[in-house]
Chains A and B, each alone.
Chain A
Amino acid sequence: MQNLINILIKTIFVENVIFAFFLGMCSFLAVSKKIKTAFGLGLAVVFVMLLTTPLNYLILRYMLQEGALSWIHPSLASVDLTFLSFILFISTIAGAVQLVEMVVEKFMPGLYNSLGIFLPLITVNCSILGASLFMQEREYNFAETTAFSLGAGIGFFLAIVLLAAIRERLRYSNIPAPLQGLGIAMIITALMGLAFLSFSGIQL
């Protein structure tokens, strides 16, 4: 249990998906102009991340890894399909996002309207696929995977809401014209990244 909490805290603060790995920067920069939309996107990312990463873990564990297919027939025990992981992971994510979109539209129209176009866009958010690939590389088990995906989602949520809050304030400041918009957003993200570096002293 302590191990899981460690992973959770580590992925939220010490190894934040945005500030330590730059995953999902595209939507992070594009959708952080207003706190409200940033909040919606952040929630959607947490939700989809928590759904797809454990799902991909199950696919990896029971279909792709060497020996994983032995539950079908012992003669398949030597089959190693890990080279298919990219295609299967991204299909799972695209399918899950589509499914989530339809379910939310049908049963929770209020939430659907507030998330708007962000839900389908999540398919190509690097942080979702990134979480699945990190899960594969670090060889987490199922509980660790779940804690990791929750932490990664919350980390993204935290980062995008913080940046949106800062950018809302920036409208009143006097920035050189060539640096406005994207340029200053990059530099602010760098400064926030420096601030998050202070968490790396924490030993877990």
Chain B
Amino acid sequence: MSTETSATLATQETKKEGLLSKKNIQILRDPLDDTNPVTVQILGVCSALAVTVQVKPALIMALGVTLVTAFSNLIISLIRNSIPNRIRIIVQLIVVAMLVTIVDQVLKAYLFDVSKKLSVFVGLIITNCIVMGRLEAFALAQKPWPSFLDGIGNGLGYGIILVVVAFVRELLGAGSVFGIKVVPQWLYDMGYVNNGLMMLPPAALFLIGIYIWWQRSRNKNLINAS
């Protein structure tokens, strides 16, 4: 799905460049919209849907995925020349599982209630296709610094979708944002009712479907992307 973009990037590889050269900025920025991991590359859809009932868990999940993607990209890119090709999947999984274990332990120690709410989905970052997808498509063939930026960019691109979906779901479903009531009481007195459907799983799919529709009608190049 994402092999195209990485192939073009690989051909552009230059000898010497600054830490935040034009190309590196582009690596960081592209996944936010044009090559967004969720809506364009179809990676990591699973968790994008399940943790978006409220904004706070979504934000923390996005942070966790960004950290894991960035650092696993960095580590794999550093050791990319010494990984035998046949067992690379296992090597990648072990590196990712180690990072996820760290994230999980930190969450359990400092943010226990959020960690309970995210339940198995922290562990599922391991099989989040974004992480594996970026490792396969980018980190295995690129230098450490661009790989790190690519990881951060893709993590943030994933985070944007998560926060947008969670914002709409929490606002319409519970009338609050970050757990703070924003829909005033007089509106409820006039007969406004929270939309219960927004709290149920299918609402996230509807919202992402609509987001894809909006994104592709704005940027026609994406229409045949997948």
Contact = CB atoms under 8 A, between A and B. Distances in A.
Interface of A: 19-26, 29-30, 83-87, 89-91, 94, 120, 123-126, 128-130, 133-134, 137, 176-184, 186-187, 189-191, 193-194, 197
A25 B37 CA distance: 14
A193 B201 contact: yes
A20 B220 CA distance: 32
A26 B43 contact: yes
13 contacts: A20-B201, A22-B46, A23-B46, A84-B101, A90-B126, A124-B129, A129-B126, A178-B217, A179-B212, A183-B209, A186-B208, A187-B206, A193-B202
B44 interface: yes
A154 to B, nearest CB: 19
B46 A25 contact: yes
Interface in B1-26: 1
A126 B205 contact: no
Interface in B145-175: none
Main secondary structure of the interface of A (DSSP, over half): helix
B209 A178 contact: no
Contact of B129 (A19, A26, A134): A26
Given A23-B46, A30-B42, A90-B93, 14 more contacts: A20-B201, A23-B124, A29-B42, A29-B45, A86-B101, A87-B98, A87-B101, A90-B126, A129-B124, A137-B120, A178-B217, A180-B223, A182-B226, A193-B205
A22 B43 contact: no
